[in-house]
Amino acid sequence: MSGQISLQGRTLRMVRAGTAVSVGERLGEGGQGVVHAVTIGGAPYAAKWYRYAASDELRRSIAWLVEHGRPHRAFIWPIDLVVSDEVGGFGYVMPRLEPRFSSFAQLVSKPEQPPFRVVISIGRHLVTAFEALHSAGLCYRDISFGNLWVDPDHADVAIIDNDNVGLDGGEVFVWGTLRFMAPEVVRREAAPSSLTDLHSLAVFVFYLFMHGHPLEGVRTDSSYSWSPSDHHSETDLALRHFGTEPVFIFDPQDHSNPPRPGDPVAVWWRLYPKFFRAVFERAFSSGLRDPSGLGRVAEGVWRRALVKLGDCVAVCQCNASVFYDPDDPGLRCWNCNQIPPRPPLLELPGSTVVLSEGAVVTAHHLTRNRDYDTVVATVEAHPARPGELVLHNVSEKAWTMTPIGEEPKTVDPQRRLGIRPMAIDFGSARGKITS
């Protein structure tokens, strides 16, 4: 950073712990400060060091975050403030982002995305993290590509730059990134808050699944002109399209801003079940006009929709991965344009799981306890019969299954059963398989 003394090779001191922090190479820099690799007791961390003009209010805000701790494991949260006996200013130390993470921008820009179940898990982890943040009375203020990172191999997310975080109604240090800002923030009628975060989150989830921006369509493009009489500044156009006159590209009532011709976003949109698209329609219709908790889509709504979407992943006869839409069983395959065969379904109280290869039944399916990571059963290819599927009991409890026209049988842990119409008792819940 020009004009600033290098920290590399120096030693900082943690304010609360008093521990020495050894500064290594520069990892990156932005408008606020520079991030260095550091070590504490030989262990790798990172430290963000601010320009000298950083305010006392910012310092107090970060100290508050340190004291209260991170609300969810996805946040790369400040551990302690750091200062130097040789250089003016301050910073904070945080966990170092693991190299397995890459930016969300890279993920959504790739022509081929990871499998549907991976993308759905990424989305669920993302909304769950912000649900925890907002439940703690905090807002993030700058949900955008630069601050959210992903590990597609493990369907994991990491959220950085948490000095943006603050209490709702507190001092504002950052207003956000334009294309993710809520309309009332673009118009400067409201400061960033947990409610404006909900708009930014909806934009992000749209990018994740549709690979485009929900408000950038034909009308957006038509307003760009180099004619002296029609030319408007970038600022004026941004205020119009994202602030005063935003229109969703798939708005069911207002068709003035459809996707650009040939935009892949239209292809992605048609892939998904009606119930999932309806959440976006709400987020970018009433959510644009009504910035209250009634108009915006809350994280819990996204979470439930994503869990349901994960239960709808099926396979077409052409082997393409598709969704079985219970509200639109005639939904055609995106690859062969045929109607896929009806998959076998596991019907449980509160949910229906498509039994396609790779599907899982979790503790949440049986008890509705939001434990999406404890797997009770997996759907696998039959080891000896190509084209057939089995349900593998990976839990520690025996099940009782009663196939149609047969006597009840016990399915012990680690045993498999062929998928066919039956009643099944998991112990904590009962269900039935239909085909």
Each domain of the chain, given as residue ranges in start order, spans 11-95, 102-305, 343-434
CATH superfamily of 102-305: Transferase(Phosphotransferase) domain 1 (1.10.510.10)
- In this chain, the answer to whether the domains covering 11-95 and 343-434 adopt an identical fold is no
pLDDT at 172: 78
Quick one: DSSP state of residue 253?
S
Those residues with Cβ within 8 angstroms of residue 229's Cβ, 6 or more apart along the chain or in another chain:
none
For residues 344 and 347, what is the distance between their CA atoms, to the nearest angstrom?
A: 10
What architecture does CATH give domain 343-434?
Answer: Sandwich (2.60)
11-95 belongs to which CATH class?
A: alpha beta
User: For position 181, what pLDDT does the model report?
Assistant: 95
Q: What is the mean pLDDT of each run of 10 residues along the chain (435 residues)?
A: 71 96 91 91 95 80 95 97 92 96 88 91 97 96 93 94 88 86 94 96 96 93 54 71 94 95 94 96 94 90 97 96 89 92 95 96 96 96 92 97 93 96 96 94
Tell me the pTM: 0.92
Using CB atoms within 10 A of its CB, is residue 254 exposed (0-12), middle (13-18) or buried (19+)?
exposed
Region of 137 on the Ramachandran plot (φ > 0 left; ψ -120 to 50 alpha; else beta): left
